[in-house]
């Protein structure tokens, strides 16, 4: 179990003067949603947390150790990331793509063994893409590719899961299935950190919320404290109607 | 999974390479039948056959094998580095630099080792130029590298034309043969074969890491790869491979582009399999091409680059058409 923490962290967005420094710790068992309009730095924040993008100031800590001081290999054993867009330069099958997730755990000269293969096949089952096992990834639909990418992260099996808009391209059923899977992972001791555009997914499935405002303002806390109409209307500059369904608030934009 | 099934394609390619070599040393003016060839290679045979095969044809055949293997592996590496199946040491201007180096040496009237050395220096200079300029102020993207390489390659092209225009007529045939790739003046094949084997050994433990890099630098970094040092290493290895090949045989085009692509269509894109397969298939292809170059209009010889293009273009197009990917 690993704690992901931001210590006085200011992400580096070109052309932005300053921002509220982030001081937060995502604990095992928590599911964090990052909400904010386009261009506020949700993706940059995820990349910064993963150590793939330098911060303007402050530090990202994994169990108290600065990410920028760790080797990539050590980071990749604790923290994994599903990107918003993926490159499929060369054709590869679904199984090969998912097996890539074992890379951090294998010595460089070692071939993938039976255990790695079993982990990959379980991940394919969990994301409902086992029937696509031998298909080429570049022939799949957007939603199927998204599930393959999440299956790759499941195969990597880090303590910290960062996902950039995991609901993208997914149909309703698979959105619910993926959010259910992420919650189950959090229950088993993982920390999950997502960028989302869907307020209602955040309201139903996330324990904590971080709001990123366009000017660099930010606030964060337990979901029920953060998901209040006034804050969200200011966040998106959009009037909202709030109703309650199935024990969670549902936000509908005013026409 | 280094089981028999994954290794089988490599065994077949190794066999094909051996067969190609036996065919190649048997062919030529004064043909030797393959049974005698095998006899000579195992230490028997007549003195005439021994001289013909061991001193004349075998070194040339081994040179052809080394050149093909070097170019194919270099092409495969460049393609992973740039995540672009069109990348190739020739597209990036490495062979252009080598050609300018070699032609300048020929223009100055030197021969042999000095031409080779000058070609090697030209290839390495081209490498430094492309990488240095593509890096610019920080950002270092595949498309930028590819564009820089293409532009520098056309610069080399202009210099080559200029040298040809200025060269005395007596030197032109040698220059043209060098430009089209020619193995008849190849020196000892052993240094090149050694480079090929060494680079394959260095690459062997990097295979899976290269597979991860083929998914893009961000994904690779997220999976624990130190991307920048790895990219430098690949570029350096590919440059050394190319420089060694052009030093041996002049600019033989097409092998680095076509061999990796054909193998990927058939074998998939696992670098642990593709890179050794490229070394074997590239070698076998060039051995056969060189054998054809020697016998097609015998006693005259064709530059081997002509044959690789004439063989490669239709094969490549057929595979591409049939695969439907």
Please tell me if residue B216 touches chain A, with a CB cutoff of 8 Å. yes
**Of all residues in chain A, what percent carry a pLDDT higher than 70?**
99
**Sequence-ordered list of residues with C-beta below 8 angstroms from that of B65, at least 6 positions apart, any chain:** B17, B20, B21, B189, B193, B283, B284, B286, B287
- pLDDT tens sequence across B99-109: 899 899 988 88
Of A90, A106, A111, the CB nearest to B214: A90
Mean pLDDT, range B148-175, rounded to an integer: 90
Kindly report, residue by residue over A177-212, the tens digit of the pLDDT.
999 999 999 999 999 999 999 999 999 999 999 999
Q: Which residue on chain A is closest to B216 by alpha carbon?
A: A87
Q: Between chains, do A103 and B212 touch, taking CB under 8 Å as contact?
A: yes
Contact B64, B304 (CB under 8 A): yes
**Which residue of chain B is at minimal alpha-carbon distance from A110?**
B205
Question: How many Å apart are CA B188 and CA B195, to the nearest integer?
Answer: 13
Backbone angles phi, psi at A157, to 5 degrees: 55, 55
Would you mind telling me the total number of residues written for chain A in this entry? 255
Closest approach of B227 to chain A, Cα-based (Å): 9
Residue B58 reports pLDDT greater than 70: yes
Lowest mean pLDDT among A163-167, B38-42, B206-210: B38-42
Question: Does B219 lie at the interface with A, CB-CB under 8 angstroms?
Answer: yes
* Cross-chain residue pair A111–B1, CB shorter than 8 Å: yes
Three-state DSSP at A127 gives coil
Q: What is the DSSP string of A56-83?
A: SEEEEEETTEEGGGS-HHHHHHHEEEE-
Per-residue pLDDT reduced to its tens digit, A67-111: 999 999 999 999 999 999 877 668 889 999 999 999 999 988 788
Q: Does B233 touch chain A (CB under 8 A)?
A: no
Q: Which 3 state secondary structure label does DSSP give B178?
A: helix
Option in A73, A77, A108 nearest B208 (CB): A108
Q: Which of A76, A109, A112 sits opposite B205 (nearest CB)?
A: A109
Q: What is the pTM of this model?
A: 0.89
Q: Report the chain B residue with the minimal C-alpha distance to residue A139.
A: B325
Which of chain A's residues have a Cβ under 8 Å away from the Cβ of B201? none
Cα angle for residues A84, A131, B2 (degrees, 5° grid): 85
Taking an 8 Å cut-off on Cβ atoms, the answer to whether A91 and B204 are in contact is no
Euclidean distance between CA atoms A156 and B30, whole angstroms: 62
How many beta carbons lie within 10 A of that of residue B133, not counting itself? 14
**How many contacts (CB atoms, under 8 Å) link A and B?**
82
Residues above pLDDT 90, as percent of chain A: 82
Q: Is A17 on the interface with B (CB under 8 A)?
A: no
CB A224 within 8 A of CB A210: no
Burial class (CB in 10 A: 0-12, 13-18, 19+), B25: buried
pLDDT of residue B1: 43
pLDDT, residue A215, reads 85
Is residue A44 less than 8 Å (CB to CB) from chain B? no
Q: Do A72 and B225 touch (CB under 8 A)?
A: yes
| pLDDT value for A88 | 65
**Cβ distance of B215 and A112 shorter than 8 Å:** no
The answer to whether ipTM exceeds 0.90 is yes
Chain A residues closer than 8 Å to B222 by CB: 50, 52, 76, 80-81, 83
Q: B243-282: per-residue pLDDT in tens?
A: 889 888 887 878 888 899 889 888 888 899 999 999 999 9
Instruction: Name the helix (H) or strand (E) containing B127.
Output: helix B113-135
Asked whether B304 and B290 are in contact (CB, 8 A), the reply is: yes
């Amino acid at each position: 179990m690993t704690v992901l923490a931001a210590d006085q962290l200011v992400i580096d967005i070109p052309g932005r003067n300053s921002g509220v420094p982030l001081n937060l710790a995502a604990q095992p068992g928590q599911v964090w949603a990052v909400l904010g309009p386009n261009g506020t730095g949700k993706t940059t924040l995820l990349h910064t947390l993963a150590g793939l993008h330098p911060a303007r100031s402050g530090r990202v800590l994994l169990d108290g150790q600065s990410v920028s001081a760790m080797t990539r290999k050590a980071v990749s054993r604790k923290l994994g990331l599903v990107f918003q867009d993926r490159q499929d330069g060369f054709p590869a099958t679904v199984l090969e793509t998912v097996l890539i997730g074992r890379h951090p755990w294998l010595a460089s000269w070692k071939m993938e063994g039976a255990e790695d293969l079993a982990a990959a096949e379980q991940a394919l089952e969990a994301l409902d893409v086992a029937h696509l096992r031998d298909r080429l990834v570049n022939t799949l639909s957007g939603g199927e590719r998204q599930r393959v990418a999440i299956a790759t992260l499941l195969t990597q099996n880090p303590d910290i899961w960062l996902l950039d808009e995991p609901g993208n391209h997914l149909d309703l059923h698979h959105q619910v299935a993926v959010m259910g899977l992420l919650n189950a992972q959090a229950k088993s001791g993982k920390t999950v950190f997502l960028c989302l555009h869907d307020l209602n997914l955040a309201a139903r499935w996330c324990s904590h919320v971080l709001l990123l405002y366009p000017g660099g303002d930010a606030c964060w806390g337990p979901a029920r404290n953060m998901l209040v109409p006034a804050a969200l209307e200011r966040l998106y500059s959009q009037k909202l109607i709030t109703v309650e369904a199935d024990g969670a608030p549902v936000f509908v934009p005013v026409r | 999974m280094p089981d028999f099934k994954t290794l089988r394609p490599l065994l077949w390619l190794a066999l094909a390479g051996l067969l190609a070599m036996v065919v190649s040393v048997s062919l030529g003016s004064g043909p030797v039948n393959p049974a005698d060839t095998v006899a000579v290679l195992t230490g028997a045979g007549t003195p005439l056959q021994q001289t013909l095969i061991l001193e004349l044809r075998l070194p040339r055949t081994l040179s052809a094998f080394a050149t093909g293997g070097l170019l194919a592996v270099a092409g495969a590496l460049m393609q992973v580095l740039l995540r672009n199946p069109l990348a190739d040491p020739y597209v990036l201007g490495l062979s252009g630099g080598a050609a300018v180096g070699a032609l300048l040496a020929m223009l100055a009237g030197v021969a042999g080792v000095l031409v080779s050395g000058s070609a090697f220096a030209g290839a390495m200079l081209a490498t430094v130029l492309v990488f240095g300029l593509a890096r610019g102020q920080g950002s270092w993207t595949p498309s930028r590298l590819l564009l820089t390489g293409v532009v520098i390659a056309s610069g080399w092209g202009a210099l080559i034309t200029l040298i040809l225009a200025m060269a005395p007529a007596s030197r032109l045939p040698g220059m043209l043969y060098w430009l089209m790739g020619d193995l008849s003046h190849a020196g000892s094949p052993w240094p090149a074969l050694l480079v090929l084997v060494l680079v394959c050994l260095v690459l062997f433990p990097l295979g899976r890491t290269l597979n991860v890099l083929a998914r893009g630098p961000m994904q690779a970094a997220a999976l624990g790869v130190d991307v920048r040092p790895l990219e430098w290493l690949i570029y350096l290895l590919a440059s050394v491979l190319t420089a060694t090949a052009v030093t041996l045989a002049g600019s033989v085009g097409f092998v680095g582009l076509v061999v990796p692509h054909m193998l990927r269509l058939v074998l998939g894109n696992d670098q642990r399999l593709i890179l050794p397969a490229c070394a074997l298939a590239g070698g076998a292809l060039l051995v056969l091409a060189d054998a054809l170059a020697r016998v097609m209009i015998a006693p005259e010889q064709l530059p081997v680059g002509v044959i690789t293009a004439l063989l490669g273009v239709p094969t490549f197009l057929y595979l591409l058409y049939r695969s439907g990917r």
